[in-house]
Amino acid sequence: MSKIVVGLSGGVDSSVAAATLHHQGHDVIGLTLWLMKGKGQCCSEGMVDAAQLCEELGVPHHIVDSRETFQSNIVDYLVAGYEAGITPLPCSQCNRSVKFGPMLHYALTELGADAIATGHYARVQFNPDTQRHELLRAIDRNKDQSYFLYDLTQEMLASLHFPLGEQTKAETRRLASELGLHTATKPESQDLCLVEQHGSMGSFLDKYLAPKPGDIVDTQGRVLGRHTGIHHYTIGQRKGLGVAAAHPLYVVALDVGRNQVIVGDRASVNYPDCTAHRVNWVSTVTPLEPLRATVQIRYRSAAVAATIWPLAEAASTSSAGARVKVVFDEPQFGVTPGQAAVWYDGDRVLGGGIIEPLPVQHRLAAALAQTSQAES
C-alpha cells in the first residue's frame, strides 16, 4: 500500500477521504495548511477538527504555515483584481498555487510520500492512448468541483487521489456516521473562506480598499445614482445597485478610469463570445485547430455549447500566457472578467482559462448591440 498525505480542512469531506484511504490499508498522514493571518475562525476550528480526526484514526498530523503564500497568491490577487474592476476567482488560483503544488512538494520531499489526496469531488484517470492523466467531473454533479481544478498540472494529477469522486455527498455523510467520525454532522462551508471570516466579500475588500465614490450611469452616460467604490460591483449584478428604474438594471461594465458603474437592461449583459488567458490544457495537449466543447463560465452555471479557438500565442506548448477565444452558440448572460471559463468533452475537463476584460467601449458597443437585437 502507498504512503498518502491527505489534505485536511477539518470538514466532513476531507475527513472521509482520509478515513477511506486509512481503512483501505494505506499509510495515511494528515496535513493541514494554515492559510489566514489573524484570528480566522475557519482556520482555527479546522485545524482543531483535523487534529482530532487524526487522533481518532491513529495517524500523524502535520500543520504547514502557508500564510505568506496565501497572502501573496490569494489576498493580494483578490484585492488587486477588484481594484482593477474585475471579479477574480480565488479558488482555482488557490488550488494550484497554495494547496496542491506546495502540498505535493512537501509530501514528496519532507514526508517521503507516494501521493496526496483531498476531499474534492472530482475524478482522475490515466489515458493509455494519450499517455495523459485526465481530470473528470465527479459522479455527484451537484457537488462536482472540477471547475475549480482545471489549472492543475499533469505532475499534480499523476500523484493525486480523489477518494470521493465516485460517490455522492449523501454517501459521504453516511460513511462518516458509520465510521464514527466526529465531523459526520459538521455543517458544510457555504462560502469562500475569506467571506466566512469577514461576513461578506465587500467587508473583506473594505479592509484593503478605501471608499471611492463615483457615478452610476446608464449605457448612454446619464447619471442614475452614486456608488461608494467599484469594488462592490460585478458584471451582471442586479441587487444592491440603489438605483430606481422602471425596469430591472444590471451592471454592464466597470469603468475604472472614470470610476463609473455602468448599468443597463438584461439584454445588454448578454455576450456572444469572450477571450481567456492563462489557459491550461489539462486533459489534452494544446490543439492547433478550433474544437467543439461545452463551456462553464461560473461554478453553478450549466455548461453550454461553444467553439474554442486557440489564438496565436497558444500554438506553442501550454503556458501561463496561452489564450483562446470562446464563441458561444447562444449569447451568455454576465460573462465576467476574472472568472474562469472551463471547457469539457462530456465529463472530461479539456482545459480552462481566466476570462479577460473587454475595454469599456467594446463592452458598451456589445451591450448596445445585444439590446438592439433583443428589441428587433
Three-state secondary structure readout of the chain: CCEEEEECCCCHHHHHHHHHHHHCCCEEEEEEEECCCCCCHHHHHHHHHHHHHHHHHCCCEEEEECHHHHHHHHHHHHHHHHHCCCCCCHHHHHHHHHHHHHHHHHHHHCCCCCEEECCCCEEEEEECCCCEEEEEECCCCCCCCHHHHCCCCHHHHHCEECCCCCCCHHHHHHHHHHCCCCCCCCCCCCCCHHHHHHCCHHHHHHCCCCCCCEEEEECCCCEEEEECCHHHCCCCCCCCCCCCCCCCCEEEEEECCCCEEEEECHHHHEEEEEEEEEEEECCCCCCCCCEEEEEECCCCCCCEEEEEEECHHHHCCCCCCCCEEEEEEEEEECCCCCCEEEEEECCEEEEEEEECCCCHHHHHHHHHHHHHHHHC
pLDDT at 188: 81
Q: What is the pTM of this model?
A: 0.91
pLDDT tens-digit readout, 117-132: 999 999 999 999 999 9
pLDDT at 313: 60
CB 73 within 8 A of CB 93: yes
pLDDT at 358: 82
Give the other-Cβ count within 10 Å of 18's Cβ: 32
Does the annotation count 193 as an active-site position? yes
Indicate the average pLDDT of the chain: 91
pLDDT at 41: 46
In terms of Cβ atoms closer than 10 Å to its own Cβ (0-12, 13-18, 19+), residue 130 is: exposed
Nearest partner of 271 among 341, 220, 328, judged by Cα: 328
Amino acid at 74: I
Q: What is the pLDDT along the chain (376 residues), one digit of tens a residue?
A: 899 999 999 999 999 999 999 999 999 999 999 998 765 545 678 899 999 999 999 999 999 999 999 999 999 999 999 999 999 999 998 999 999 999 999 999 999 999 999 999 999 999 999 999 999 999 999 999 999 999 999 999 999 999 999 999 999 999 999 999 999 999 887 556 777 666 788 888 999 999 999 999 999 999 999 999 999 999 999 998 989 888 999 999 999 999 999 999 999 999 999 999 999 999 999 999 999 999 999 998 999 999 999 997 644 444 447 999 999 999 999 999 999 999 999 999 999 999 999 877 767 776 666 666 666 5
pLDDT at 44: 75
Q: Which three cell numbers stand for residue 362?
A: 467594446
Q: Could you give the domains of the chain? A: 3-197 (3.40.50.620), 210-264 (2.30.30.280), 268-375 (2.40.30.10)
Does the annotation count 42 as an active-site position? no
Among 42, 43, 91, 193, which one carries the catalytic annotation? 193
pLDDT at 360: 74
pLDDT at 297: 97
Among 42, 43, 54, 94, which one carries the catalytic annotation? 94
Instruction: Give Cβ neighbours of residue 333 (< 8 Å, ≥ 6 apart).
Output: 236, 266, 269, 270
Nearest partner of 221 among 257, 266, 260, 251, judged by Cα: 260
